[in-house]
A and B are shown apart, each in its own frame.
Chain A
Amino acid sequence: MPSFDTIVIGAGPNGLAAAHRLAKGGASVLVLEAGAVPGGGAAALAHLSYNLDPRVAEGMDLARHGLRWATTALPTTALAADGNHLRMEGVLGERLSGAVDPADIAAWAELRARLLRFAAVLAPLNAMTPPRPAADPKNPLLKLAMIGLKARMMGAAEFRELGRIFLTNVFDLLDDELRSPLLKGALAFDATLGSWLGPRSPNSVLPWLYRLSGQTEGRQGALGLPEGGMPALAAAMVKAATAAGVTLRCNARVERIDVADGTATGVTLTSGEQIAARRIVSALAPKTTLMSLVGPRHLDNGLYTRARLQKARGGAARLDLTLSALPDFRGADPTHRLLIAPSEHHVERAFNPVKYGEVPEEPVMEILIPTARTPAPDGLHRLSAIVQYAPHAPKDCTAARAAMLAACLLQLERHAPGIGAKVTEACLRMPYDIEAETGLPGGNWHAGELSVEQMLFLRPLPGIAQYRTPIAGLWLASAGCNPGGGVSGTPGWNAALAMEADR
């Protein structure tokens, strides 16, 4: 058994990005993956790309390792039950057509430009180790000052507007500028996708700006779809990491991180096997890492308690259907991203029952039918949907799953009559299924909720936002760290940079 100086736990995009960078830097890196296949959320949950970090794409040379884009500006159709859809083409609805109030075309163009501008100003925060609120000589004061300067250089009016909307909610922001229900519904859906926030939840704009700071192939706000789907993106990352000398072991579930005298010394697998390393990088959720892998005996009570109470509620479920024939969403282009979010009110209403652990009657969802673009060899069609909102802890998990599936199929039937008869297989993974499958606490896609009080230097928790933990040699590198989730590789890359700076 060769020895490694670094063990990375979890072969998701962040684990692979961190492993690659560390290996390139000369470390001998072993990546341990609990599942049978690597890729984590990139392979199993996400179905399109919105924020792949260009540093990761270039640093790992993903193009050379097989990443091809089917499209780097996936258009969206916001579905109307009567067939009078809204089409949003180009990057982030650059061009609107169909069911849109004429006044909204100009209003959206202005709001869109402003949101992208604000997101771009804040984007450098994504790529840095968050500062410590207490004076710390390592704080990136110059970078922070540059962000402030760039924000101010937008002009007094825009700077004030950024301040005005920064902590407001999506519903009010949209209500200020727009009136078309389908447009507002689509934007409200995107803004809250993957979070445990409704459009009316306070502070819901900032997570949306985080989403909009992402890019695909250099185009900010663009949605990308890799050829072969998101598993192909994961596969390219695996190839790149392996080519960089990273050793990957699947079916190797870490039972605990071994700690002696406050220092991580290695890991013990569920098989009982112990593997020693000087440096352990956990790309699992920080909450899971601290509570389950390290445990209370090695951590101060205050930190452990904060980890225990960290908010991690998932509101998104993933639906996968196998269909005998291509469904017809009343004439909508099936290669588009299809949204069922008839209005901003529908999004909020879908969130309401989830607060009480109940299932919404009319869930909102984002639908992709990859086989409409590239036919499958078996002639069947595959539909995937991210459905919101699903309760993460209902009273009866089996009943909630059945009710949610029924509600989803009913909602689909409303928009694509006859789709129900075409379904040959249906699989709905609720947040608790996702938690059981991936270990993401609460089934939250960001490995810890992405909300203002858990962002930047508060992410994942105050005191450990710099990727370092109180356990010497143990680092955090998951979506639970700054800046957050998505198939970006950003937190993993940032963590590797922090480790390099530590030497």
Chain B
Amino acid sequence: MNDLRHYETPLLPTPFHARTEAACKTHAWANWGGYRTVTTFEDLAMEHSAIRNTASVYDLCPMIKYRIEGPDAVAFLDRLTPRNVAKLRVGSVQYTVWCDDAGHLLDDGTLFRLTETRFRLCCQERHLPWLLDSAHGFDVTVTEETEEIAALSLQGPTSAEILRRAGVDIDALKPFRMMEVPFGMGRLMISRTGFTGDLGYELWTTPDLALPLWDHLMQAGALHGLRPIGSDALNIARLEAGFIITGYDFIPAHVCLREDRLRTPLDMGLGWLIDWEKGAFTGRNALMKQRAKGPDWAFVGLEIDGNIPADGAILYRAQKHEAGVVTGACWSPTLKRNIALAQLRADLVKSPDLWAEIYALRELHYAKMMMRARVVDRPFYTPARRTLTPPARF
């Protein structure tokens, strides 16, 4: 099993590599979870535009995937996560998080209920030891299946039309639901989910069908503006949609070294996920205590004056008292506004006197700006087509 020459390919190719490599004009590659992934194929603006105006494909293979199966799968997941898994219907997907004993976030992800007793958990970080420990005492098996699945995200206003042209009857599929169709010699699972906040789907199949799937979609989408996108374009779209990324917007507890950087779901504005009535789950005691006294932190969307992205900016009240930090920011091409996600002291969420300290490097000199920031509702952008069923025709 051990390939002694593994060091020659420290970053693995994904099952779509033959196509992504051919399409990647810029050779802008980055490491995502040990895989070679594209940051920008050709042109960032065009790629973001495809997400919002036509359609895009994005290689999701490096997403960590676990198969959770067994008679106690629901009980196991209800103890693992704060959300109520018993209420998740077969064929549905829920966004979820999980915590350690202290209620500190370990990760977020999506949970797919494939059958009564079989689930798939998709997430950013690797958690097999924690999941296996959590499985002790439950009649359930947890298997990492990251390499057994090829996943592709198809997002954008014309994505449904492209699937129709690809021969899939997609009209009845509602958001957070999934369906399965035959594809080639195997099967294709389609879920109406995504990370763009737009109309879109995620397609799941086996690695041997990855390239045929890519080619089939590209052919079907040729007249509908379908193009591959890299992580940079996706990041802008997810900021517009107000979605968080583990490791960017909060530091997961199992790798966090500094006690004051740990964050709970309540700190991250994810309290709505927690089912306080369902019974025990890991972290419940700690979260109940935090709920009683109120969290110290809030996670907010900001609009910031000017057009310089405020990545990593320190937030101030009255321009001098530290109030938080920007965890992700961009100039939103869709909204034509300067937006940011930020961790902000909970007592300052309603403050009218917030400022972001932005340093812009201009030809080896920093221009320092103190720009006014306003807390606004998230998501920044949520088009009606995201949930419209059946989706519009093009």
Contacts and interface: CB of A to CB of B under 8 A. Distances in A.
Interface in A133-189: none
Contacts of A291: 137
Nearest to A298: B280
A304 B137 contact: yes
B279 A305 contact: no
A83 interface: no
A297 B79 contact: yes
A301 interface: yes
Interface string A296-322: 111111111100100000000000000
Contacts of B284: 262, 300
A305 B131 CA distance: 11
Given A297-B75, A298-B280, A304 B285 contact: no
Nearest to B288: A262
A127 B282 CA distance: 32
B206 interface: no
Given A296-B137, A308-B136, A470-B285, A261 B279 contact: yes
Nearest to A259: B280
A300 B279 contact: no
Contact of A301 (B75, B133, B279, B285): B133
Contacts of A261: 279
Interface in A469-503: 470
Interface string A234-259: 00000000000000000000000001
Interface in A255-292: 259, 261-262, 291
A297 to B, nearest CB: 6
Nearest to B280: A298
A295 interface: yes
Contacts of A297: 75, 79, 137, 279-280
Interface string A366-410: 000000000000000000000000000000000000000000000
B93 to A, nearest CB: 23
Contact of A300 (B75, B137, B138, B282): B282
Contact of B280 (A262, A302, A308): A262
Interface string B276-297: 0001101111000000000000
A305 B283 contact: no
A303 to B, nearest CB: 6
Interface residues of A, number: 18
B136 A295 contact: no
With most chain B CB atoms within 10 A of its CB, the pick from A295, A301, A305, A463 is A301
B100 interface: yes
B136 A300 contact: no
B246 interface: no
Contacts of A296: 79, 134, 136-138
B18 to A, nearest CB: 41
Interface in B127-178: 130, 133-134, 136-138
With most chain A CB atoms within 10 A of its CB, the pick from B75, B80, B100, B279 is B279
B101 interface: yes
Interface of B: 75, 79-80, 100-101, 130, 133-134, 136-138, 279-280, 282-285
Interface of A: 259, 261-262, 291, 295-305, 308, 463, 470
Given A296-B134, A298-B280, 12 more contacts: A261-B279, A296-B79, A297-B75, A297-B79, A300-B100, A300-B101, A300-B284, A301-B100, A301-B134, A302-B100, A302-B101, A302-B282
